[in-house]
Amino acid sequence: MAYDIVSLVPGFCESFVAGLPFEEGGIAFSDYIERPRMDYSIDSLLRLDQYLQLLHTRRREIEWQDQTNTVLAAGCYLGEVIRRNSELTFRWVNYHDHFPKYPQMMAVFPEGLGTCAVLVAEGHVTMPINKIGRFIEEGPENSTHFYALGEMKPRRRS
């Protein structure tokens, strides 16, 4: 079943930034999100990294639905920071609208929570939702701030 996550990106962002409720579950440890500082700036990602560090240390306490909501909401926020601040013109694309055009990539990036919607620019794809899931599971080596800075600049082709 193909999901249209792209149409939900604004709602996920609002849930993360403004605390709007979900139909089911919530955002894990949402009281620790510094919402006044979530202004879609690159610097706001430093606060996002602090919040994700807390989630990483307490990941075994997070209910499945709350983790799913958190990964989607924080991932959409991260993607919007990249999209709004990038030198590239990124657009959100659902997995089923992008990856079937590149079958070789489907084996490397199977459909799942982290790949359900991706950002695409001319010759470039990035997975901010996946980055959130990886930070929660693996830790601060998955800094969203560092990741975003690298993704927002055009890459030179050799």
Per residue in 51-106, pLDDT (tens digit) is 999 999 999 999 999 999 999 999 999 999 999 999 899 999 999 999 888 888 88
How far, in Å, CA of 12 to CA of 103, rounded? 29
Backbone φ and ψ of 125, nearest 5°: -135, 140
**Residue 59, both tokens:** 């990941």
Predicted TM-score (pTM) of this structure: 0.94
pLDDT single digits (tens) 118-135: 999 988 999 999 999 999
